[in-house]
Structure 1
Amino acid sequence: MNQTRRARLSLAALIPTLLVRANAALYDTVVDTQYGKLQGYPAFTSEPAGNLTHWKDIAVWKNIPFAATTGGQNRWKAPQPASGWNGTRDAKSFGNVCPSATSGDNDYTIDEDCLNLNIWSPANSTDAKLPVVMWSYPALSTAADALFDGGGIADQGIVFVNYNYRTGSFGWLSHPELSQEFEAVTGSNSSGNWGMLDQFAALKWIHENIADFGGDPEHITVMGQSAGSAATQHIVNSPLTQGLIVGGIIESGVRDPHDPLCTSLAENYKTLDYNLDQGIRFLENFNVSSIAELRELPMNDLIVSGGTFGSDSEWDFTATLDYYAIPDTYLNTLLKGLAQDVPLLTGNTKDESGATYGLNITVAEFMEGMAETFSEPWLARFLEQYNGNTSVTASAAYNAQWTDRSKVGTWLWASLWATAKASPVYTYIWDHAPPGQDQGAYHESEINYVLNNLYGTDMPWTALDYAIARKMNTYWANFIKTGNPNTESLAAWPAADTNGTVQHVGNGWGQIPLTSEAKIELFEAWFDTLVAY
Structure 2
Amino acid sequence: MLGHSAWLALLPVARAALYDTVVQTSHGPVMGYRAFNSSPSGIGLGRWEEIAVWKGIPFAANTSGENRFRPPQPAEAWDEVRYAADFGPVCPSATSGMNDYTINEDCLNLNIWSVANSSSDKLPVVMWSYPAESTARDDLFNGGGMAAQDVVFVNYNYRTGSFGWLATPELSEERLATVGVNSSGNWGMLDQFAALKWIKANIASFGGDPDHITVMGQSAGSAATYHILNSPLTEGDIVGAIIESGVRDPHDPLCTSLAEGYTTLEDSLATGESFMTSLSCSDIACMRALPMDDLITSFMGSSYSFSATLDHYAMPATYLEALEAGAANQVPVLTGNTKDESGANFNITLSLAEYLVDLNETFSGVWIERFFDLYPANDSTSAPGAYNSQWTDRSKVGTWLWTQLWANASTEDVYTYFWDHAPPGEDRGAYHESEINYVLNNLYDTDPPWTEEDYVIAARMNGYWVNFIKTGNPNGGNLTEWPATDSSPLVQHVGNGWGQIPVADAAKVSLFEDWFATLTAY
State the TM-score bracket (shorter-chain normalisation).
over 0.9
Aligned to 2:121: 128
In structure 2, the residue matched to 1:17 is none
Could you report, residue by residue, the CA deviation over 1:179-209 in whole angstroms, capped at 9, with x for unpaired residues?
0011111111111100000000000000000
Q: Where do residues 178-217 of structure 1 align in structure 2 (5 Å cutoff)?
A: 178-217=171-210
Which of the residues 346, 371, 390 maps onto 1:382? 371
Unaligned residue ranges in structure 2 (runs of 5+): 1-12
Query: Which digits, 9 at most, give the CA deviation of each residue in 1:452-492, with x for residues without a partner?
Result: 00111111111111110000001000000000000131110
Asked whether 1:483 is paired with 2:472, we answer yes
Deviations 1:368-399 (CA, angstroms, capped at 9, x unpaired): 11111110111101111001123332110110
Match of 1:271 among 244, 264, 267: 264
Deviation at 1:153, TM superposition (A): 0.5
Distance in 2 (alpha carbons) for counterparts of 1:89 and 1:405: 49
Note the C-alpha offset of 1:33: 2.4
Displacement of 1:304 after TM fit?
Answer: 1.3
In 2, Cα distance between equivalents of 1:476 and 1:530: 34
Give, in whole Å, the separation in 2 of the partners of 1:462 and 1:177.
55
In the alignment, what sits opposite 1:285?
A: 278
Q: Write the deviation string for residues 321-375 of structure 1: whole angstroms up to 9, x where unpaired.
A: 0111111110011011143110000000000000011022111111111111110
SS of residue in 2 equivalent to 1:131 = strand
The answer to whether the Cα contact below 8 Å between 1:173 and 1:279 also exists between their aligned partners in 2 is yes
The equivalent of 2:56 in structure 1 is 63
Q: 1:327-476 counterparts in 2 under 5 A?
A: 327-476=316-465
Matched, 1:160 2:153: yes
1:217-296 matched pairs, under 5 angstroms: 217-296=210-289
1:132 Cα deviation after fit: 0.2
Q: Greater shift after overlay, 170-179 or 51-60?
A: 51-60
Cα distance in 2 for residues equivalent to 1:195 and 1:319:
8
1:420, 1:489 → 2: CA distance? 33
Distance 2:281 2:520 in 1: 37
Partner of 1:28: 20
SS in 2 for 1:418: helix
Distance across 1 between alignment mates of 2:385 and 2:235: 44
Say if 1:42 and 1:58, in contact at 8 Å, map to a contact too: yes
Q: Is the 8 A contact 2:69 2:166 kept in 1?
A: yes
Separation in structure 1 between the aligned mates of residue 25 and residue 158 of structure 2, nearest angstrom: 22
Whole-angstrom distance in 1 between the partners of 2:328 and 2:257? 22
- Amino acid paired to 2:38: S
**1:497 aligned onto 2:486:** yes
- Whether the 8 Å CA contact 1:51–1:470 is kept in 2: the answer is no
2:128 counterpart SS class: strand
Q: How many equivalent pairs are there?
A: 509
Q: Give yes or no for the alignment of 1:326 onto 2:315.
A: yes
Q: Does the Cα contact within 8 Å between 2:229 and 2:327 map onto a contact in 1?
A: no
- The answer to whether the 8 A contact 1:115-1:198 is kept is yes
Contact preservation (8 Å) 1:179, 1:190: yes
TM-score by length of 1: 0.94
Q: Call closer, same or farther: CA 1:104–1:153 in 2, change over 3 Å.
A: farther
Q: Which is higher, the Rg of structure 1 or of structure 2?
A: 1
Letter in 2 for 1:439: R
Which residue of structure 1 aligns with residue 74 of structure 2? 81
Counterpart for residue 520 of structure 2: 531
Query: Where does residue 16 of structure 1 map in the other structure?
Result: none
Secondary structure of the residue that 2:202 maps to in structure 1? helix
Deviation at 1:236, TM superposition (A): 0.1
**Shift of residue 437, structure 1, vs aligned partner:** 1.3
* Residue of structure 1 equivalent to 2:8: none
Task: Kindly provide the CA deviation profile for residues 404-442 of structure 1, in whole angstroms up to 9, marking residues without a partner as x.
Answer: 000000000000000000000000010000111111100
User: Partners in 2 of 1:103 and 1:53 — Cα distance?
Assistant: 35
Residue 283 of structure 1: how far off its partner (Å): 1.0
The code of the aligned residue for 1:451 comes to L
Distance (Å, rounded) in 2 between the aligned partners of 1:169 and 1:112: 12
1:89 is matched by which residue type in structure 2? Answer: R
Q: What TM-score do the two structures reach when normalised by structure 2? A: 0.96
Map Cα deviations across residues 286-315 of structure 1 (whole Å, 9 max, x no partner): 111111011101001110124xxxx35310
* Cα shift at 1:103: 4.4
Query: Post-superposition shift, 1:105?
Result: 4.3
Counterpart of 2:154, as a letter, is: V
CA contact (8 A) 1:104 1:141 kept: no
How many Å separate the matches in 2 of 1:25 and 1:107? 32
SS in 2 for 1:284: helix
Map of 2:3 onto structure 1: none
Structure 1 equivalent of residue 138 of structure 2: 145
Q: CA deviation at 1:104?
A: 7.0
Deviation at 1:31, TM superposition (A): 1.1
C-alpha distance in 2, partners of 1:288/1:165?
25
Give the AA of the match of 2:494.
Answer: V
Tell me, yes or no, if the aligned pair for 1:327 and 1:338 is still in contact at 8 Å.
Answer: no
**Hey, what's the Cα distance between the residues in 2 that align with 1:443 and 1:112?**
28
SS at match of 2:408: coil
* Partner AA of 1:528 in structure 2: A
Q: 1:110 aligns with which of 97, 103, 120?
A: 103
| Structure-2 residue corresponding to 1:8 | none
Output aligned runs, 1:510-521, within 5 Å: 510-521=499-510
Match of residue 40, structure 1, among 26, 32, 38? 32
Q: Aligned partners of 2:349, 2:297: CA distance in 1, in Å?
A: 34
Answer whether contact 2:72 2:194 (CA < 8 A) is retained.
Answer: yes
Which 5+ residue runs of structure 1 have no aligned equivalent? 1-20
Q: How far apart, CA to CA, are the structure 1 residues paired with 2:240 and 2:322?
A: 17
Task: State the alpha-carbon separation in 2 of the partners of residues 386 and 349 from structure 1.
Answer: 19
Aligned partners of 1:312 and 1:151: how far apart in 2? 34
**CA–CA distance in structure 2, aligned partners of residues 475 and 240 of structure 1:** 29
Q: 1:312 to 1:114 in 2, by over 3 A?
A: closer
Q: Which one-letter code corresponds to 2:364 in the other structure?
A: S
Counterpart of 1:4 in structure 2 is: none
